[in-house]
Amino acid sequence: MTLFTLMSAAADLAAAMPAQIPNPAPVQPPGTGGFVTALGWIKWIGFALAGVALVIVAIRMFFASRRGEGGEHVGALGWILGGVILIGAGAGLVGALMGG
């Protein structure tokens, strides 16, 4: 067999394949509805607590800025925002794996 005949056979095979690959709709596995609901509640409670923590740190920064110590709370902001990122990423990853 020559390279030309192999390439011709490959082209004929590719032409015979279906043009559209089926893409089924995502379906949540049976019995996981309660878990997905609990995950949603945990996610929103985590975001609410992170929002409250941001407000508390902002208030502490406001009062500390009068004494010249406002910059010391910037590290706390980083930890809170990192927590928000982890909450969102974790919930998104588990939701994607569960099919929800």
pLDDT, tens digit (0-9, with 9 covering 90-100), for 73-85: 777 778 888 888 8
Listed in sequence order, the residues at least 6 apart from 7 whose beta carbon sits closer than 8 Å to its beta carbon are: none
Q: Determine, yes or no, domain membership for 88.
A: yes
Q: Determine, yes or no, domain membership for 33.
A: no
pTM over 0.85: no
Report the number of distinct structural domains present in the chain.
1
Which segment of 14-18, 30-34, 42-46 scores lowest on mean pLDDT?
14-18
Q: If you compute the radius of gyration of the chain from its CA atoms, what whole number of angstroms results?
A: 27
Q: Determine, yes or no, domain membership for 26.
A: no
- The C-alpha atoms of residue 54 and residue 48 are separated, in whole angstroms, by 10
Q: Determine, yes or no, domain membership for 59.
A: yes
83 within 8 A of 39, measured Cβ to Cβ: no
**b/e sequence 6-30, b meaning 16+ C-beta within 10 Å:** eeeeeeeeeeeeeeeeeeeeeeeee
Q: Determine, yes or no, domain membership for 74.
A: yes
Q: Determine, yes or no, domain membership for 90.
A: yes
Residue 52: domain span: 47-100
Q: Determine, yes or no, domain membership for 11.
A: no
Residue 8: which pLDDT band, with cuts at 50, 70 and 90? confident
